[in-house]
Structure 1
């Protein structure tokens, strides 16, 4: 089933997360981050941080806090078995730290096809802000969906 371009501009449910220092340490370990500024509060303080800073790619994990973070794909008729992660980009405005309350507000930014419709691309853009509304980052992710109805 083809992805309907009419979904461009659709706002998806926001996700709010209070950043926990323990989760930051766990995340840093999981991604193989070896810089102790992300895991040791004393090292972070010596580097000028009030608390542990958020590792760069952590912001994409916030949306995974939803009970079904991929429900929006099912709602637009995408079979999750045909989805690949294509790309992710970050534009940072400020550094987030443990204790910050962050909100991610995603929107469908674009839908396009390649290979005569055999591959469909969904571009999701998300703004990450603090509780006071200050911008933290803009995230872009591209999902690739194989359309079984079209042969390349």
Structure 2
């Protein structure tokens, strides 16, 4: 079933998270980050941070804290068994640190298809702001929807 183009510009529910130092340490170890600035408070402060800085790709996890983080796709009629992660990109404006309250505000930026509709692409952009309103980052993710009923 094709993704309805009318979803372009649709605002999705925002997600808010208070960044936890333990979670940052766990994330840094999980991705193989070896720079102690991401796991050791003294190293972070020596580098000029007020607390442990948020590792670069961590910000995508804010929206995954929602109980139904892919519910917006299901509401659009997308079969979640047919989705793939296409790409992600980041534009950073400031560094977030442990203790910051961050809000991700997502919007569907574009929907397009390739291979005669066999593959559809949903671009979602998210703006990350700190509780004081400071812009932290702009994120873009692309989800690929496979449509097996469309001949290739």
TM-score by structure 1 length? 0.99
1:67 maps onto 2:70 in alignment: no
1:132 CA displacement: 1.1
* Residue of structure 2 equivalent to 1:98: 98
* Residue of structure 2 equivalent to 1:38: 38
Q: Deviations over 1:44-81 (max 9, x none)?
A: 01111110000000000010000010000100001111
User: Mind listing any 5+ residue stretches in structure 2 that lack a counterpart?
Assistant: none
Runs of 4+ aligned structure 1 residues displaced above 6 Å come to: none
Report the Cα distance in structure 2 between the residues aligned to 1:79 and 1:29, rounded to whole angstroms: 33
TM-score by structure 2 length? 0.99
1:148 CA displacement: 2.1
Report the Cα distance in structure 1 between the residues aligned to 2:151 and 2:123, rounded to whole angstroms: 22
Aligned residues: 152
RMSD: 0.5
Report the Cα distance in structure 2 between the residues aligned to 1:138 and 1:20, rounded to whole angstroms: 21
User: Mind listing any 5+ residue stretches in structure 1 that lack a counterpart?
Assistant: none
Q: How does 1:105-124 map to 2 (within 5 A)?
A: 105-124=105-124
1:53 maps onto 2:71 in alignment: no
| SS of equivalent to 2:97 | coil
Report the Cα distance in structure 2 between the residues aligned to 1:81 and 1:31, rounded to whole angstroms: 26
